[in-house]
Amino acid sequence: MKFGKEFASQMVQEWQEAYMNYNYLKTVLKDIIRFRPKNSSSPIASTPRGSLKRRVSLYRAFSGLTNTYNCLKGSPTKEDEVILVSARQDSGSSEGCYQTMFLRSSEEGGEYELVFFRRLDDEFNKVLKFYKARVKDIVEEAEELNKQMDALIALRIKVDNVAEGLRGTQGIDLATNGGGSAPPSSSQFIDTRNPGNLEVIQEVEMSSDRNLEDGTVPANEPNSSNHGKDDKMKAQIQGFRPASLDVLDRIKLNVAPETPVSSLKCVFMSSQSDLSFSKEELRKAEEQIRQAFIEFYQKLRLVKSYCFLNLLAFSKILKKYDKITSRSASKSYLEMVDKSYFGSSDEVNKLIERVEATFIKHFSNGNRRKGINRLRPQAKREKHKITFFLGLFSGCSIALVVAIIVLIQARDILQHEGRVQYMENIFPLYSLFGFIILHMLMYSGNIYFWRRFRVNYAFVFGFKQGTELGYREVLLLGSGLAVLTLACVLSNLDMDMNPRTKSFKAFTELVPLGLVIVVLLVIFCPFNVIYRSSRFFLIKCAWHCLCAPLFKVTLPDFFLADELTSQVQAFRNLEFYVCYYGWGDFKRRSNVCRESKIFQIFYIIVAVVPYWARLLQCLRRLFEEKDKMHALNGLKYFSTIVAVVMRAGNDLNPGMTWQIMAATSSGVATVANTYWDIVIDWGLMRRNSKNPWLRDKLLISSKTVYFAAIVVNVILRLAWMQSVLGFQGAPFLHRQALIAIVACLEILRRGVWNFFRLENEHLNNVGRYRAFKSVPLPFNYDDYNKNV
């Protein structure tokens, strides 16, 4: 693979504008080729690596992630026969930048080489500025993590009660330290019989290493090898610096709402709570800080990767320049790069090592392998068995479809007297799974194209690294469900038409119910099988949608709620399940659900629930973010609720009045939803953009695709108007079949919407250089200071 493609493939997509524009500089070099013969030789840039070994304890005062580092400062570059690189200060800016003087501009083609170095300087200054900003951000975040760790260690000591409950027992005296007294928060005695004190004892054993590292020597250090073991232990203990508990008086505990009840409490009470020094508070605080460390470590790795890739890109492009021009300019320029802040700063490397050491000691019980595996989750590898079973299930699905078609034709089921009864009672039970399978197929297609066009869907949705499903996994689940559903349909038809099995009528009718029970058992299975993390993530998001607005609204929550609005018919089919097996005479394949007033009421309610959830989510976001766009979005969903109610009323009680109200409300909702889809969710129809009537940035090179998607969205949006206009389809098409077709068209429209909606979200992240998710921290210092 050529370096240009490899460089693009390893970029952090949200930062792609901040990387060196390698392809553009290559085009500048092409202009030089006409004037200079090719030659080779170029040094390779390298990045300095630092090392820091620090052992910490759970109960010692946290030494921090950030110290004052002795960073190398850039020095002026040396003049050579080709270029002269110098640092200069921009007027009106506190940041310096680098400028290259090309000394051979009078030669033939020199003006092209001069342009090359000017563009090279622009790219380097851009990269340098961005890198400084990122390092500044992570250093500030490291300082905040320092404070969080100080509070966590103090809370650990307070909760475990190491300092207080064991006075008078046999232990080790930590009170004296060269004639002084220990701070009030230090432990007076440590009970070696208490497992909670093992870390403190381990700290004592490590004190000599720490003192050597810090450059200090414990008081009264024994000089003779004849001293006993107790004297050595006492001398080591005197160097122990326990963590101070005073920090607990200066913090508040951030209590994140985790349940609807706690969310309701936050409406009437402060979202901050004083520390009660409970084990539950300690557990939650440790979990939050653990996640913060993992996310912070990923940030450090991305910044380090950004630095390395750009250093390599500058080396490669200068090597190409030397080869084309037969000069030796790369050496001088790369020396400047190495001496600049970009090439010489070591903050990131030191922070990486400090984070590793801290995480291993405090959150992995000193187990390095376990800690590193948590900090560096392995990339998920494609498994051959997934491809094998995907092919197997897909082939079985096709075979079952063929078998069903042959059975229908062989026994002339379409002309059978029970055809109408089957379509009214059995078809809605199985069409539910058809809707789910179609949605899964569309989602797998979305994942495939998101990956192809490098949309970071895992970051946008907030999936835990290494647990996100690929399109093969989703196709596997969809094809597996398809095999199970088609097998039930075939067995149901066979038992229904076979004279030998007519006596098992009740069992035949219970096959669809058994299928629903199996699917629900798989979804809620607590064991680590069939992608448990993804199943639980889906369940959590669905619960948040159901309990809206009692949970903070995140993108996965409202994205799933939007998906559910396209599965209205599936919810109605679930309602029919309850009615058919609860109140219908399923043994004789008959029901009176549509005549029931309760069924009619819930027929409207279940269709409104997804839109109502989105409306409440919009109100929650309006309350938190104070953005009027959420109010307009809520009005859009309210208009859709009105349209759904009117259409349902027209279905249940056909009449001119209902039809007029349904047509009017559906027309208004269609226009509002179509406009919002295209302009807001997709970010298209920008008249003054670089791509007229689209947007400035497009991931798909063919603009026709975007216009085709707009047309398809408008056409499929009008599909729900068939029920209002009274369109009954072909004479041979049953009403339930027509409803299923319209529902499938809506699912197809949603699948198209998914791709462009996430593309627009991804491009918004790119525009804001947003490549990390924010993790809430458990302890808050600022609110305390404000209250004080």
Q: Model confidence over 653-667: pLDDT tens digits?
A: 888 888 889 889 999
Amino acid at 403: A
For residues 652 and 602, the answer to whether their CB atoms sit within 8 Å is: no
Please tell me whether the peptide bond between 778 and the residue prior to it is cis, using omega within 30 degrees of 0.
Answer: no
Contacts of 278 (CB under 8 A, 6+ apart): 159
Res 102: pLDDT? 77
Distance CA 571, CA 577 (A): 10
pLDDT the model gives residue 423: 87
Which residues sit opposite 101 in a β-bridge? 84
For residue 53, pLDDT beyond 80: no
pLDDT of residue 39: 40
Q: φ, ψ for residue 96 (rounded to 5)?
A: -85, 170
Residue 100: pLDDT band (50, 70, 90) is confident
The CA distance from 735 to 731, in Å, is 10
Res. 308: pLDDT tops 90:
yes
| Angle, vertex CA 472, rays to CA 466 and CA 474, nearest 5 | 80
Residues 6+ away with beta carbon under 8 Å from 113: 32, 102, 104, 105, 321, 325
Confidence of residue 554 (pLDDT cuts 50, 70, 90): very high
Q: What is the pLDDT of residues 458-491, one digit of tens each?
A: 999 988 877 889 999 999 999 999 999 999 999 8
Contact 647, 723 (CB under 8 A): yes
Taking residue 301's Cβ as centre, other Cβ atoms within 10 Å add up to 15
Long-range CB contacts (< 8 A, 24+ apart) of 414-419?
A: 418/496, 418/589
Give me the pLDDT at residue 593, please: 86
Please give the Cα distance from 422 to 430 (Å, whole number): 11
The identity of residue 71, as a single letter, is C
Q: What is the rounded CA–CA span in Å between residue 313 and residue 127?
A: 11
* Residue (of 577, 328, 301) closest to 430 by Cα position: 577
Reported as half-sphere exposure (CB side, CA atoms, 13 A), residue 651 has a value of 20
Separation CA 571–CA 31 (nearest Å): 63
Beta strand 272-273 pairing with 252-254: antiparallel
Q: Which residue has the higher pLDDT, 302 or 83?
A: 302
Length of the chain: 788
Torsion of CA 746, 751, 754, 759, to 10 degrees: -140
- 682-723 pLDDT, tens digit per residue, is 999 998 889 989 999 999 999 999 999 999 999 998 887 766
Percent of the chain exceeding pLDDT 70 equals 75
First to last CA, the chain: 61
Is residue 233 over pLDDT 60?
no
pLDDT at 429 over 50: yes
Inform me whether the pLDDT recorded for 627 exceeds 70: yes
Three-class SS of 124-173: HHHHHHHHHHHHHHHHHHHHHHHHHHHHHHHHHHHHHCCCCCCCCCCECC
- Closest C-alpha to 75, from 393, 308, 336, 256: 336
- What residues are paired with 779 via a beta bridge? 253
- Residue 66 has a pLDDT of 62
Q: Which residues contact 124 (CB under 8 A, 6 or more apart)?
A: 20, 98, 314, 337, 342
Q: Which amino acid type is present at position 102?
A: F
Residue 415 has pLDDT above 90, yes or no: no
Burial of 540 (0-12, 13-18, 19+ CB in 10 A): middle
- Residue 430 and residue 735 in contact, taking contact as beta carbons nearer than 8 Å: no
Q: Where are the alpha helices (DSSP H) in 340-383?
A: 341-344, 347-363, 368-375
pLDDT at 180 over 60: no
Most confident of 41-50, 199-208, 702-711, 715-724: 702-711
Residues 675-684 have a mean pLDDT of 95
The closest of 484, 514, 522, 488 to 397, measured between CA atoms, is 484
In contact, 442 and 745? CB cutoff 8 Å: no
pLDDT tens sequence across 329-360? 888 888 888 988 888 888 999 999 999 999 99
Q: Which residue did the predictor score with more confidence, 414 or 274?
A: 414
Residue 782's pLDDT is what? 60
Torsion of CA 593, 595, 599, 603, to 10 degrees: 100
The pLDDT of residue 590 is 81
Structure-block tokens of residue 514: 């058994």
**What is the pLDDT averaged over residues 665-681?**
94
Three-state DSSP at 363 gives helix
| Span 404-414, average pLDDT | 85
pLDDT band at 54 (very low <50, low <70, confident <90, very high): very low
Separation CA 334–CA 340 (nearest Å): 10
CA pair distance 106, 86, nearest whole angstrom: 20
* Of 9, 10, 12, 79, nearest in space to 771 by CA: 12
Question: Looking at the predicted structure, is the pLDDT value of residue 206 above 50?
Answer: no
- Among the listed ranges 22-36, 80-94, 609-623, 636-650, which one has the minimum average pLDDT value? 80-94
Of 260, 249, 248, which is closest to residue 285 (Cα–Cα)? 248
pLDDT in tens, 593-623: 888 889 989 999 999 999 999 999 999 999 9
pLDDT of the residue at 331: 87
pLDDT tens per residue, range 740-755: 999 999 999 999 999 9
Residue 65 has pLDDT above 60, yes or no: yes
Q: Which position has the higher pLDDT, 177 or 562?
A: 562
Could you tell me the pLDDT band of residue 47, with boundaries at 50, 70 and 90?
very low
77-91, 240-254, 393-407: least confident range: 77-91
The pLDDT of residue 90 is: 57
Burial class (CB in 10 A: 0-12, 13-18, 19+), 757: buried
pLDDT digits (tens, 9 = 90+) for 122-160: 999 999 999 999 999 999 999 999 988 988 888 888 887
Q: Of 697, 671, 683, 668, which is closest to residue 629 (Cα–Cα)?
A: 683
Find the range with the poorest average confidence among 112-121, 230-239, 438-447.
230-239
Reported as a single tens digit per residue, the pLDDT across 487-522 is: 999 988 888 777 665 655 677 888 999 999 999 999
Does the structure show a pLDDT above 80 at 108?
no
Task: Find all residues with CB under 8 Å of 265, minimum gap 6, and list them.
Answer: 257
Q: Tell me what the pLDDT averaged over the chain comes to.
A: 80
Say yes or no to pLDDT of 48 above 50: no
**Exposed (0-12), middle (13-18) or buried (19+): which is 690, by Cβ within 10 Å?**
exposed
Task: Report in angstroms the alpha-carbon separations of 189 from 124, 259, 758.
Answer: 58, 41, 59
Q: Is the pLDDT of residue 237 over 50?
A: no
Confidence bin at 680 (pLDDT 50/70/90): very high
**Selection from 646-650, 708-712, 730-734 with the highest mean pLDDT:** 708-712
Contact 272, 253 (CB under 8 A): yes
Quick check: 57 and 139 in contact, CB under 8 A? Answer: no
CA distance 315 to 323: 12
Better pLDDT: 703 or 195: 703
Exposed, middle or buried by CB within 10 Å (0-12, 13-18, 19+), for 338?
Answer: middle
- Is pLDDT at 378 greater than 70 in this prediction? yes
- Give the pair of three-digit tokens for residue 88: 């200069």
Nearest Cα neighbor of 62 from 217, 293, 225, 329 is 293
